[in-house]
Each structure stands twice: as structure tokens, then as C-alpha cells.
Structure 1
Amino acid sequence: MISNRFSVFSLAICALIAVPASNAGAQSAKSYPKAQGGVITLPSGDISFADRVHRFDEGNPPSKRTAARNPESILGPTDRPKSAGTEILEATTLTLGCRGSITLEFTDNALIDIEGPDLHIWEAGDDVEATFVEISRNGEAWTEIGMVSGSTASLDITGHAVKGASYRFVRLTDAKCASRTGNWPGADIDAVAAVGSAERFVFDAGVLFAFDEATLSNEALTILTRFSDLVGQRQFSRLVIEGHTDSKGSDEYNMDLSQRRADAVRAYLANTPRLAQSDMSIRAAGEREPVADNSTDAGRQKNRRVEVIVVP
């Protein structure tokens, strides 16, 4: 099953469900107004924006306006009107509070390094209030990429990001609370988007492979053929195939298993007619980048996966 918000091939339900039209055209470039004037073009359009709040640590003091304390309001495309009353503006903006922090996750896409700025932050007001920005592949190990402030709302992750890596998490932390009074202490965030954005497809390893094996199942061959037909119709530069496991077993064993599974997917896709000439690489992550809680069966099942990052 493939959802509009998260490109997931869930083989356990049905291998032949058609891709929704809204998702199939999700990579179309689109321009959006910047908070400080002008526009910015996102090559992947609406899927470029953050999709989920991973964590919100509200600052002290927080905003005195209840509407400006909802972290969910900054998810998805920027919806800030050009001119509106205070109540409408507050409903589309999150005030972090003094030294507050929010961690956002990209689910249907991933942040990658491209030429020029890679990340853009919509901040309410005439100027961008000082905010530290960090990125992470797993939500645990963080890399600081700089600070947005003044009129600078875009950052380039070159020199900070691991070459060829994709990142799922962004953390914003209010860096300098100029005043501890008033209705909106700390940075005021409207939206966050990956300018350098790649589409993510996630495959359930439990259906791709037998338990502890790296040989593709018959169902996997059907799904990967459909995937090849879908992606082969798009314009992209390369594919990155990542293997992931749950936390059971040793780290060494899980790294080896994840690599063999990623290699099996790459080998099959490289022999399909539409992707035979494509640039592909593999990456083994083992148990190091979970997307769910490894203490539960349901969480471990989600963590056993193969991701294909389609770099536009």
C-alpha cells in the first residue's frame, strides 16, 4: 500500500495497488513565497516539506498565545497568507519560546546535498530570528549545519553532511531570545522544507525476504518490477538502496544482513529494462537508523526494511 504522505510499498497487503496520482506527480517543481519577500523554487514541490513532529521542547517562557503553541501547524507546505489578522497568522506559526526546540521528520522524502542551498525555513516577521539548525539520519546523532538569522533563511549542508547520505530529521533551536516578555518569545516558524529533496520508497523486508535471508521472494520480484516501471518513467540522477534491520542480533550481523539485502535489491533492479543503465549505490545501516520502537514486535517489523532513495 502506498500512502500520499509516505511512499511505502506494503507487500503484506497487496503488491499491485496503483500509485495515487497525487503521489506520482509529487516531484514537480513549484515556487513558494518567502517570508521576507521573493520566492523560492523547490525541485520536488510539496513533498519537500517536513511531515511529522518528532519532538517539541517548548521554551521558557512559552508564547502567551495558545494558537501559536501548536507544533503541528508548521507541517506541510507553507500556508502563511500574505496579509491577515493576528489570529490567522498565529494559527499557521509555531512560537518556540525562549530556547525552545522542535525536531521535524521527513517521511515521504529525504534531505540531500545539492548545489546551492539545501534547506529553507519560513520564519514569521520581517527578519529571521536566530535559530540553530541541526540535521540527523536517525534522530539520535546530530550534525550542526549553522544558524538562520537576519534575512538568511536558507542553509547549505555541504561540508557538514556525509557525502551521498540522506537525512530524515531537522532540529531547530531558538538561539537568542531577545526578550522574555511579550506574546511571541523565541523564533516563530511557519514551515521547513528540503530544497535538496529526494523521494523515499520503503519496502517491508519481511515480504521481500525470508527470515534472516537475503534471497528475494517471488512477491518481491513482482513488486520490484512494478517499482522499476514506476521510477523508470521519471527523471532522476541516481538511486541509493539502503538496508535496515531491527536491533535483534549483534551489530556486526545486522550490518552484514542489511548489506546483503540492499545488494540483492540493487542486483535485481539493475537487470530490469527501465533501470538497467541507472546509477545505483547501496548502503548498509543495520540497526542504527530505526523508524520505530525496537521494544515491540510492531516496531521491529517497521525497522526491518529496504529503502530506495530516488535522487532527482
Structure 2
Amino acid sequence: MRAILALVLTALPALAAAPELPLPGTPSLTEAQPLSTHRIATGPYAGGLPVEAVEGAVTRRIWQVEAPGATTLQILAPLRDALQAAGWQVVFECATRACGGFDFRFEIDVTPAPTMFVDLADYRYLAASKDAARLSMLVSTSGDLAYVQVTDVDPGAEVAAITKSASDPRPAALPAATGDIARDLRERGRAVLADLDFATGSTELAGDSYASLDALAAWMRANPETRVALVGHTDAEGSAEGNMAISRSRADSARAILTGPLGIAPARLETQGVGFFAPLAANDSPAGREANRRVEAVVISTE
């Protein structure tokens, strides 16, 4: 907790309307676009999300801060105070269930994990304005880490397009690659099986051999006490009901390979489908839709 309270103001690049905030060191991600649109939530989710879509120079910064024991309010409060001291006016603020819980989280624009992690049971959101500029802030925690995403829009500014990341040089709009399945399961409790490709509306895998499934099976053999949920996902084309069924079938396709050729006991694997409600990327491009059609492995039991 003292780490949060003792933070000092850090000078930040003059990108768009980026304010100075009491956060230490260099953001894990800094992304700026000379002209784009950011949707600012102006109220809680209630059958739909009220938003203000603001065009201009968009700057996003994400911090991952050591903050053992800190609550999301303890993290947000000094940041809110710093904004107000700099002349920003808070126009909307909410916490988890008051925001709209799951529905709110998946309606707003969030950089995918591991760069930005959002605990669906504990997060806070803030929207602020300063003259024509607008800003959104999202705060959550995972273990001893606090995650802070700040996105600001200045309609009158012009900046060079940049993307900088202390941990991953790829643009934030794209999901992280599969990487080390064992590491992701151990450190994050989940891993994207990114080499499982599905066409829009399809539940069929092209073959029965995939590096990610081999890696998952090897990890499960090395950790025989674990159980895993395979969670299927879709892009946003089609109905919610249809996509829920398709996403579950995609998870079933992966499970069939794991319990068949790869020899994992069926009792150790369950399948779920969440349709288009947990995207990794925006669904407004072919690349984004392809990234969202996926299966993830989630550790659900270690006993």
C-alpha cells in the first residue's frame, strides 16, 4: 500500500492531451494514433452502453504497478485527484457491478491481457473531460500487480503514430501469440491456443495435429492433478445465440484431439463457449475477427 501512496509525479511525453499522473516509471505500453476514435462510456451498462465517440489524436498508456494488498479504489483515488488538480472534470465513475459487470467490461475498449488485465469481479472505470479533450481510465488488479489503462483523446492535436511497449513491441490491437503454453498456464492460469484456425461460422479444425494442443497435453501430463476448461470464442458476425453454440463446438473440437490422439483423460477436460463476448481485438477488420475466432485453455482446478 505504501508503494501506491508514495508514488511521485512522472513527466510523460506530450502526446495528445496526456496528463501527468502519479504513476512510476515507464508505461508497459504507449500507443498514439494521429486520428482515431475512442468510445468513452458515459453511464453504466443497462441493456446497452451509453457512450460518447470522440475523434482526434488518441493516446493510450498502460502501467503494471507493484501494489500488494491495494484495493482498486486506493489505486484510482490518487489518479483521480491528480486529474482534477490538472483541470480535468470527472463526468462518470463506476465500480464493477455498478458499471454493469461483465457486460460493461466487454463493451468498452480494453487492450488484451497480459498487457492489461481486468478482474471481472473487481475493476473501476472513470471518464473525464477537459475543454474538448476526453479521457477514460480503467483500473484492476491481479495478485500483487495493479493494472491501469489510460486513453485520452484530443480533437485538436496532431501527433505522430507510435506504438511502444516495454514488454511486447507488437501493436496493442493485436493479440499476443501463443508463446509458451506452460508458462502462460503457470503464470496466468490461461493460454490462447492461437494456432487453432476457424473460418467464420465453422467449428471444424483442418487437421488433428497442432503445436498448441501438443504443448497443452504435455503440460497436463506433467501436472496430473490439474483440470482444464477449453473455452471457445467467435467473432461478432451472426447472432449471440448462434455464436454461443459455435464457440462451444470449437472447444469440443479441440477436446476431441486432446482426449483422442493425445491421450488426456476426458474427466480432466471440460468445454465452454462464450460466443463473441470476450474479444481479443476489435471486430472491424479481417485480422481482428480472425484473432477472435479461437480456443483458450483455462486452469480450473489443481487438486
TM value normalised by structure 2: 0.44
Give the number of the structure whose residues are more often helix, by fraction: 2
